[in-house]
Every structure is written in C-alpha cells, then in structure tokens.
Chain A
Amino acid sequence: MASVLTRSAIVAPKNFNRWLIPPAALAIHLCIGQVYAFSVFKIPFMTHFDAGEVSIGWIFSLAILMLGISSAIFGPWVEKNGPRASMVAAGTCWVIGFFIASLGIMTGQLWLVYLGYGVIGGIGLGIGYISPVSTLMKWFPDRPGLATGLAIMGFGGGALIASPMSNQLMSLYGGGPEPENLVAGLTPTFVTLGIVYAVVIAAGAFVIRVPHPEWTPKNFDPAKATTKPMQTTGNVSVRNAIRTPQFWLLWVVLFLNVTAGIGILENAAPMIQSYFGITAAAAAGFVGLLSIGNMGGRFIWSTTSDYLGRKNNYMMYLGVGLLLYLVVALFGGNSIVLFILATLVIISFYGGGFSTIPAYLKDLFGVYQVGAIHGALLTAWSAAGVAGPLIVNSVVEAGEKAGKTGPELYTPGMYIMVGALAIGFIANILVRPVKEKFFEREEDVKAKQAAALEVDN
C-alpha cells in the first residue's frame, strides 16, 4: 500500500471543491513567510550574543541563500513526490531549524542559529515555497495567476502575522516590552513559533489534495486556454528548460525586479526620514505600509495577469516601475504623499513579480515539471538577495565617504535601479514561445502523470 505521503495517496474525489486547496497552500507560505519578519529579532540577538549587525544579518542572508539553492536542488524531488511529501519535508526542516536555533540562543552559540535557522530552516524555505505551486496550477488551470497569487501572497503575509506575534511572545515570556525583557523571552519564543508552525503546516499537509484525473473545472475548455500566443501546448522538462533562452531571460527579469524592490526595502525607513524629517517611529509605520503593498501586489497583480497576460504584466512591473523610480529620484522629495504612493506601487510590483512568475513558467513550459523549473529559477532571488543590498548599501556608503547627506545619498541608487529595470524590460520583451524541439513527447508525459496517480488497492 502506498505511503500516505505519496501523490497517489492524496488524489481527491471527482466532485471535490477546489477552494479547499488554497488555504492548505496558504498555510505553509504563511509559516515560512515568517522569514520576512526576522528583523524583529535583530536587536535582541545583537544584545544576547553581543554581536554586530553584520554577524546577525547573516542569519537572514543565509536563509535566503539556502532558499534558492534548495529550491533548485530539490525541485525535481518535489515534482516527483507531490505536495504532501514536500510540505512534510519542508515543515520538518523549518521547525527543526527553529528548535536548533533556540538551543543556540539558550547556550549562547550563534553558530547553532546559523545552522538551525539559516541552513536547515533555509532548506525548509526553499522546498516549502515551491511545494504547493504546481498543485495549485493543476487545480486552477483556468486561473493560474489567481491561484499562485493566493499562495505566494501568504509568503508576504507571513511577516504581517509573525512580526506582532513574535514581539508579543517575547514580551510575554520575558516579562515586559522593554529591550532586556525581549531578550529574556527569545528562547521560549523560538520554541513556541516552532510548535505553532509544526501544527499549521501539518494541517496544511493533511488537507492538500491533487486533482482526480477525470476532474476539470466547470465551464473550462482546455483548448481555449492555450489560444493565447505566449501559452504553450507542450510540456518541457526541467532539464530542457534550463537550456532554453526563455529560462535565462526570465532569470534576468526576476533577478532585476527583486533587486529593484530591495532598493526600496533596504532603505525605506532612512530614506523617508532623510527626505521629510519624520520620526523613526513614523518611518516604521511606513515600512508596515510597504509590507501591505508587497502582499497586496502578490495577489492583485498575479490575478490581473490571467486577463492581461504574463508578458504584459511584467512590462508593467518593469516599465512603470522604472518610471516611478525616476519620479522618486526627481520629485520624491517634494511631496510625502507622492513618495509614499510611488514606493508603495514599486513594492507591489516587487511582490507581483514573485507571484506571477510560476504562471509565466506554466505558459512557456507547461505544467509537467513547472515546480522544478520554478525551483531552478528561484536562484535568481538568492542572487538578488545578496547583490541587491550590496549595490544599495555600497552606493550609500560611497556617498557618505564623499560627504553627501540626506536625499543626495539615495538618488544615485535610484538611477541604478532605473537602469536595472530597463535591462529587465528589454529581457522580458525578448521572451518568445519555446521551440517545439524542447517539448517532451506527449505520450511520455501522460504515462508518467498516470503512473504517479495510480492508486494501489
């Protein structure tokens, strides 16, 4: 009898309500999205370990680096074994990461936090991020942008939940909201978060299902879905996909779109203070608004791509994005409302770029191994996670050394992002349908898909 973790063990009935699946996908993304709230632990960690910003910052950087590496390496495994096995593997790594990190906090060993949260947790991030995506696209062949937007919105939403929850837990366990209390509450907070995430991810893995081979959405005609010019009628394996120019063009697009978003995220709080002289507390409120823009963009823009087309959506993210960066560079200091609106829209495009890419990959390469191809593409995120802050912070440091202050520190960085988005815009324009020579034989694809679903009696 097949293990309950295999794909064949989680085939849904023919009359299943597909709207039960997005909450399961959201569950894992909300949990692993906690990584975007890591900054809430930065100062308590610096105090507890008597370490500097760079040393503590590496915990987050390591996690994002491992995200891209593990999603690429384990993508084929995720594709082969299905969403439940993947969610269980991801959840195990993510939760064990928290427990090992809590051991590191308890014993004062920072290397254990690197190992736990950074390396093992980062592997959980990579597997977890891609685990529900291809399953969602199989459940929503008529609206893949909406489906993946819902799940990947969860990754942005994870920080909105984890940030206040972590502060409240540290305050509760540490005996108060003062900095020294938060430090005292670190270990039990990490243990509690690990337990909460274990329960939620387990529930998601329990609920997830794959479609019955005879199931289709109501009123859906597969023939009509593939009449748009950029949508393929074939299927491409991950091994062939990485040999196509389209994969590498999308890699450049994602790398540059993420870098541009980091250009805002990395400096949002100091920029708005420099430009308008507002307090640090108000700047923190602005960062909160950016999180909402990030999350909203993931769902809204990905959903609109079902109607506008993925290529057109990316033309908007990159083309309108570069215009808005120009607006911020030239006029951003004149009006706080203009500054906030422009940066909110730029950040929404950053989120939209993440959530629309799986549907773009499906359009180009088919659904056959889209999870693995998505995993390989996420190395662009890792690269941008390293390169983006490096570019942005280097420009600011160079400006400081040259004696610049205030808005002058940030303007050169804005122009660099304009250039980056222009290159991404051109790369997106160059994307064409994949040549048939890269397609798998249709009989082979259907045979493998049938074998994966074969139910043992």
Chain B
Amino acid sequence: MSNSTPTAHVPPEGSPQSPVGGAYKAVGSTLTVVVVGGLVWGLTLTVVKAVAIFTG
C-alpha cells in the first residue's frame, strides 16, 4: 500500500456551498415527516382495505 495516500482537502464543516444550518434542518425534518407519514398513510389504507374486503 502506498504511504502517500491522497486525501481530499475538505474543511471539517463540509462543503461551503452546502451548509447544514437552520434551512437544511427545516427541509430535512419536513421531508422526514412527509416520507414517513406518507408510508404510514399508504400502509394503513392498504391494510384496512384488504382486511375489510376479505371480511366482507
């Protein structure tokens, strides 16, 4: 293995073009709620419908 493994020069706070401050956290949280909520909604509807149809 080479002793001079190249590494990228990235500041500890990450890319300056993409900060992870307030706006990032707001979008990320909203997206998480939408994604999880959407999945739960779809799953619940499908289960309820399937059971209802099977049990007449």
> Of B11, B20, B45, which contacts A455 at CB under 8 A?
B11
A100 within 8 A of B: no
Q: Do the beta carbons of A212 and B10 come within 8 Å of each other?
A: yes
Q: Are B35 and A9 in contact (CB under 8 A)?
A: no
A338 within 8 A of B: no
Stretch from A22-30, A111-119, A314-322 contacting the other chain: A22-30
Q: Which of A15, A163, A200, A209 contacts B34 (CB 8 A)?
A: A200
Q: Is A383 part of the contact surface with B, judged by Cβ < 8 Å?
A: no
- CB of A8 within 8 A of chain B? yes
Q: Is the CB of B38 within 8 A of A30?
A: yes
Quick one: which of A209, A295, A446, A454 contacts B5, CB cutoff 8 A?
A: A446
Number of interface residues of A (CB under 8 A): 55
Whole-angstrom CA separation of A214 from B56 in the bound complex:
58
Q: List 10 A-B contacts (CB under 8 A).
A: A15-B12, A164-B45, A213-B7, A282-B54, A285-B51, A286-B50, A288-B46, A292-B46, A292-B47, A443-B5
A residues with CB within 8 A of B: 1-2, 4, 8-16, 20, 23-24, 26-27, 30, 154, 157, 160-161, 163-164, 200, 203-204, 206-207, 209, 212-214, 281-282, 284-286, 288-289, 291-292, 295, 442-443, 446-447, 449-455, 457
Residues of B participating in the A interface, judged by any CB pair closer than 8 Å: 1-2, 5-18, 20, 24, 27-28, 30-32, 34-36, 38-39, 41-43, 45-47, 49-54, 56
Given contacts A27-B34, A157-B43, A281-B53, 11 further A-B contacts (CB under 8 A): A13-B14, A14-B12, A14-B13, A23-B31, A27-B31, A157-B42, A206-B27, A209-B20, A288-B46, A288-B49, A289-B46
